[in-house]
Amino acid sequence: MPISGTTAVYGVIADPIGHVRGPTIFNPLFEKIGFDAAMVPFHVSAASLQRAVAGFRAIESLKGWLVTNPHKFAMFHLCDQVDASGTRLQAVNVVRRESDGRLIGGNYDGAGFVNGLKHDGIEPKDLDVLMLGAGGAAYAIAFALAEAGVRRLTIANRTRTNAETLAAATRKFFPDFAVEVGAAKAGDHDLIVNTTSAGLKPTDPLPLDADGLTARSAVADIIMKPEMTRLLDLAKSRGCRIHLGRHMLDSQFPLLARHLGVPIS
Ligand code: ATR
């Protein structure tokens, strides 16, 4: 679609920027639905974020932007209003700029994971889940699984204290939710989710003691490259249902589009 004087501008802010997928997903979507808009990459360093955002507030044709590393936490503090999920995480991954320049943040990382499961036919409600990892992604996923009505969540992490901190944070927001810290050991779980970075490289150790892994458990990874991590390969060979990392991002784009005011159904 030709860019003209009426085109609404959207951005993606990141540093580094080359890998971001927003423009390649959103521009064809704008074209498909006949929406006069364009998404462009904004390469902004952490040191320049505040100045860049002050400028963004003043640009009337700029309607919002996606936020990725390293800006998710800093951007939270620059918003005027943030949704419940972003407030729990103190981090945003999308910002809508209202016509008066107010910035409305949201965070759909966890919702993207849960929606990805649902779209893939895995209903998280009432499942017994083992989650590996206690980093940034694990926080988003733990809170979203609690919201989705998971029956029990066991958090296992290489550094146990980080798992304890995450379990305590989850209990604070969801006091009735059954969350505990446990071992990274396959057992009687309905679903095992890897949120650690172990699996990015072929030489990484498995994040799970998989001796007891059987087809009873579905196994999800949030790593996107490689698509089949060692953990997923192993799970597949045991007959487990597997859930790929790309589902989390793919299922998140419609949620981000709605937050940005893009008229999708
Ligand atoms: P992200 O924001 O992507 O979740 P992160 O915050 O750096 O990334 O978190 C990385 C997670 O992967 C942590 O839970 C980390 O465990 P520690 O808390 O012990 O650091 C986990 N992790 C990284 N490498 C790992 C490995 N080789 N084996 C097991 N866990 C690993």
- Tell me whether residue 72 is one of the annotated catalytic residues: yes
Other Cβ atoms closer than 10 A to 167: 21
At position 47, the amino acid (one-letter code) is A
Nearest to 36 by CA among 254, 261, 258: 261
Check if 23 has its Cβ closer than 6 Å to any atom of ligand 1.
no
Active-site entry in 63, 72, 125, 201: 72
Phi, then psi, of 11 in degrees rounded to 5: -130, 170
Distance, CA 149 to ligand 1 centroid (Å)? Answer: 25
pLDDT of residue 265: 81
Strand partners, 65: 11, 95
At position 55, the amino acid (one-letter code) is G
Check if 135 has its Cβ closer than 6 Å to any atom of ligand 1.
yes
pLDDT of residue 1: 79
Instruction: Identify the residue whose C-alpha is closest to ligand 1 atom 25.
Output: 198
Tell me the CA end-to-end span of the chain in Å, nearest whole number.
20
- Cα 187 from Cα 216, distance rounded (Å): 9
Classified as helix, coil or strand, 82 is strand
Distance, CA 209 to ligand 1 centroid (Å)? Answer: 16
- The alpha carbons of the chain give a radius of gyration, in whole angstroms, of 19
Beta carbons of 194 and 133 less than 8 angstroms apart? yes
DSSP state of 209: B
- Cα 140 from Cα 105, distance rounded (Å): 15
Distance, CA 67 to ligand 1 centroid (Å)? Answer: 21
Strand partners, 155: 131, 181
Phi, then psi, of 166 in degrees rounded to 5: -65, -40
Instruction: Note the pTM of the prediction, 2 decimals.
Output: 0.95
pLDDT of residue 158: 97
Q: Angle 75-102-174 (CA atoms, 0-180°, nearest 5)?
A: 55
Question: pLDDT means per 10 residues in the chain (265 residues)?
Answer: 95 96 96 97 98 97 97 98 98 97 97 98 98 97 98 98 98 98 98 97 96 98 96 98 96 97 93
Q: In the sheet that 191-194 helps form, which strands lie side by side, from edge to edge?
A: 179-181, 152-156, 128-132, 191-194, 218-221, 242-243
